[in-house]
Structure 1
Amino acid sequence: MSVQSPADWPILVISVVGAILVVEVSRRVLTKVGRKWALARHLVEHCTWPAFSVAAVVAFNLVFGPGMFGDSASERGTAGTVERVLGLFTIAAVTWLIVQAAYALTDVILDRLVLVEGERNRRARRIMTQIALVRRVAAAIIIVIAVGAMLFSFPQVRALGAGLLASAGIAGAIVGIAAQPTIGNMLAGLQLAFSDALRLDDVVVVEDEWGRIEELTLTYVVLRLWDERRLVLPVSYFTQNPFENWTRHGSRVLAVCLLRVDWSVPVPKLRDALYEFLQGNPLWDQKDWTLQVTDVLPNGLVELRALMSAADSPSSWDLKCDVREFLVNFVRDNYPESLPRFRVETPESRIGAGGHK
């Protein structure tokens, strides 16, 4: 319907309000359905305000007519300006809705992947990383297309199109040189995601700092350190510098605990006690373990190494601390004569030893 009379403004207002009410009713229905349907919940979270915007702008566009401001030349000029502004708002609102709807759809997949555990967790985290980066790239492309459509809605810009295309080579070269670091980071981000070198929630050691990959974007990586600090690095850092990835092929990690004791320590009994302790510890994954004498130190002590496997690095750290505490208590309570002792030979002791001899 085309409204051509200034008296039809109430119809315009009613149409806009009616469209907004329809979206509100849909939102309430989706909110109730969202308790059981994940997609509905994410649509409400992401698309409520974009949907209100699209409904209001589209209703205004459908009802608004050039004659609503009057029939004079100036009034029709004002109406033309309003129509052009409405066109810009329509493109912006529809773009906003498309991007948010895409995020809602992918969030459903990400929610399911977060719940994956065990051996499939590594593959799930790889897919999560790729989805997170691809949807950012897709959103950037959609926004660029929308901005281009908004610019080309002006006749003056369309008239300049030929001139812009003629100088596109020089301008592209200049922009490429200026944006080289940014473009390099974006390509590095895609390279990391699709080469499976780095994934969300991977355990890495960077700059002697241990942490997990909390966020991976096209330009930077956020590393959540063990003490809850955040280390932010450019994506290109991970393609140009070596780093440790403890969960590259799996999350299992070997925990190592060193114990330095006297030569008199009964290693077989200590080994049996350690195995019995590990069997009752839920942090041990029931796979690898050993207790070995790995060195004889210059200070007269022997070095024991307890090695045991855990499902992931946090469990490995806690298991290592538990084993160290157990071994210390076990040796102290059962074999106090095996506690670390530093022997010193003095002239008196040497004479006493000779006299005894």
Structure 2
Amino acid sequence: MIHEPGNASMTIKGWRLWRVAMAVLLLAGLMLTGVCQAQEDSRGGEPGWYELDALNVGLEGSLDDTSLRSPREAMRQFMKLTGKEDFRSAAHILNLEDLSPEEQRIQGPELARQLIEVFRRGKWINISRLSARPDAVIEDISGKDPRAGEVRRDIELASLEVGNDAYDIRLGRYQVGDDEPVWLITPESVSSIPALYQRYGPSRFEAYIPAPLKQNFGLLRIWEWIAIPLVLLAIGLIGRAVHWLMTALTRLVPSGSPSIFMTQIRSPTALIVMALVMQTLIEFVVSFSAVVATTLRVTLTIVMAWGIGVIALRLIDTFMLHMTRQMAGEIDDSKPRDERKLLTTLYAVRRVIILIMVMLVMVYVLGQVRLFETLGMSILASASVLAVLVGIAGQAVLSNILSSFQLSLAKPLRIGDLVMFEGQWCYVESIFYTYILLRVWNERRLIVPVTYFASRPFENLSAKSTMEYRSLELTLHLNADVACLREKFLEFAKQEKNVIEHEKLLCCVTAQTAAAQTITCFLMTVDPLSGWAAEASIREKLMTFIRDHHPDWWPRQVVVLSEQDIARGEHAVERS
């Protein structure tokens, strides 16, 4: 057969392409095989469980392995058996490999009984949250959990503290020979059961409770439904007694700032004592179920943190009140400007301290109740949503707080300034987070939101100086002697102690009509309110002088009669 050169070239090229394609397919097959092998190892190979030669050989009887294939099934079976007080069977769900066969037979049931008591009082296990898969793979459809798809051979059920030590209770997956792997309480967790039981187990008080009252009724036992109201009533009486005692002690301390401080801390002190007594009861006297104990611990932590924070705040307020009385006395604009400026700064510092205290209390409470450990990734996932909701709901509050800081730092007004706000004379008594407290001239209190106050024009009568130039007007007849009246005005004005700068006293005619003239008197006063009082006093004295010595100066109506009107009048008189 004769081959043409062109056909031979095509055959060589085809052979080369075939070899490249086969190499690529071989490489892809090797990679695919490696991936499959890795998946096979991660799901069904050695990392998926712990291998044992024997398991709980000292225990009597056995359990169906099908009830222990997943963490959820294992714990459901444990709760079921301990609920029926079948602790011998429940002991099979504990990995007792650290104990000898004789110790397993004797101590196994007791350890199972102690563990269920720890769960009941320390931390109740929510079985529905445990994985129902044999391999306990973390399932996360949203894809936010970085551990999604991870096969686990042990999981944490609870973490409990005893003093300064922390103990974990975990489930592990074990296989004996070719048997089906099962989930059991790990040996490390079993070894910590006695210490946990000594801390969270039943108290001596429960030894005197009749057995029928120890039966479960809903979430709690019967005796707990009876004891909780009685304990709360007793704690309330203790708080009432502490409040009464603090009231009695208030009468013994000196009046003033100490007495005010004692009065303000009565309720917080009573709450702190109540929380301490309650904490002592649940720690050393009465062992409530985990639901009640956890709720009480969180509540007591919040109450104690709040009480201590309030007492600290009251101490700061009392200190500021003492400084206010020492520096400025009654809050008004008659005091030096520097003192009122310092007082305003102190109020701003007070608000900063309050914010810091609130943040510290929140951090302490969150750390004590382990909120971040409980919620975990849920908080991080919903942080943006919470921020938006808080921003919308608290927009008015945040706006008031920012406006409050702006007023305190920029100081367009100070504590003690006299302002004219919406037609009323008011002294600025306090600038709080969300509102400003104004004392009106008639001793009423005007509470104005900070944002509303800052968005309205107001006249600060104490911005530069408390002095004010005032004027009073008198309307008199045209024949009134202005020079005589001026002399009397100067005499009366110099007698007023709140009238200053006598060289600026002035009295002159400022308007005139056909029947009367307007005489205006000008005077300088130390402050607006004193000036108003001096103005009223001088006006009253001038009117008394005119009434007693020159009543003809009062304005009167002038009527011009014609001759016909006069004739009619005379004719009417003659007829009468």
Call closer, same or farther: CA 1:31–1:241 in 2, change over 3 Å: same
Paired with 1:233 and 1:76, the residues of 2 have a C-alpha distance of 48
* 1:324 aligned partner: 539
**Within the alignment, does 1:45 sit opposite 2:259 as a pair?**
no
Q: Is the 8 A contact 2:511 2:519 kept in 1?
A: no
**Within the alignment, does 1:176 sit opposite 2:391 as a pair?**
yes
* 1:306 aligned partner: 521
Call closer, same or farther: CA 1:81–1:303 in 2, change over 3 Å: closer
For residue 292 of structure 1, give the secondary structure of its aligned residue in structure 2: strand
Q: Is the 8 A contact 1:288 1:308 kept in 2?
A: no
- Tell me how large the CA RMSD over aligned residues is: 4.0
* 1:340 aligned partner: 555
Q: CA deviation at 1:85?
A: 4.6
* 2:313 aligned partner: 99
Q: Is the 8 A contact 1:68 1:79 kept in 2?
A: no
Paired with 2:403 and 2:371, the residues of 1 have a C-alpha distance of 38
Structure 2 residue corresponding to 1:280, chosen from 486, 492, 495? 495
Q: Is the 8 A contact 2:499 2:534 kept in 1?
A: yes
* 1:34 aligned partner: 254
**For residues 1-357 of structure 1, what are the structure 2 equivalents within 5 Å?**
6=204, 28=249, 34=254, 40-54=258-272, 57-58=275-276, 66=283, 68-69=285-286, 83-115=297-329, 120-155=335-370, 157-285=372-500, 287=502, 289-345=504-560, 347-348=562-563
Query: Larger radius of gyration, structure 1 or 2?
Result: 2
Q: CA deviation at 1:328?
A: 1.8
For residue 265 of structure 2, give the secondary structure of its aligned residue in structure 1: helix
For residue 204 of structure 1, give the secondary structure of its aligned residue in structure 2: strand
Paired with 1:92 and 1:203, the residues of 2 have a C-alpha distance of 36
For residue 127 of structure 1, give the secondary structure of its aligned residue in structure 2: helix
> Which amino acid in the other structure matches residue 306 of structure 2?
A
TM-score (norm 2): 0.49
For residue 236 of structure 1, give the secondary structure of its aligned residue in structure 2: helix
How many residues were matched structurally? 332
Call closer, same or farther: CA 1:346–1:243 in 2, change over 3 Å: farther
Q: Is the 8 A contact 1:126 1:193 kept in 2?
A: no
Call closer, same or farther: CA 1:170–1:278 in 2, change over 3 Å: same
Paired with 2:323 and 2:500, the residues of 1 have a C-alpha distance of 29
Q: CA deviation at 1:214?
A: 4.4
Paired with 2:260 and 2:444, the residues of 1 have a C-alpha distance of 30
> Which amino acid in the other structure matches residue 273 of structure 1?
K
Q: CA deviation at 1:300?
A: 4.0
Moved more, 204-213 or 99-108: 204-213
Paired with 1:87 and 1:216, the residues of 2 have a C-alpha distance of 31
Percentage of pairs with the same residue: 23
Paired with 1:138 and 1:66, the residues of 2 have a C-alpha distance of 34
- The answer for unaligned runs of 5 or more in structure 1 is 8-12, 352-357
Call closer, same or farther: CA 1:233–1:294 in 2, change over 3 Å: farther
Paired with 1:180 and 1:257, the residues of 2 have a C-alpha distance of 48
Call closer, same or farther: CA 1:227–1:272 in 2, change over 3 Å: same
Call closer, same or farther: CA 1:230–1:288 in 2, change over 3 Å: farther
| Higher RCO by CA contacts (8 Å cutoff, separation 6 or greater) | 1
* 2:4 aligned partner: none
Paired with 2:426 and 2:371, the residues of 1 have a C-alpha distance of 53
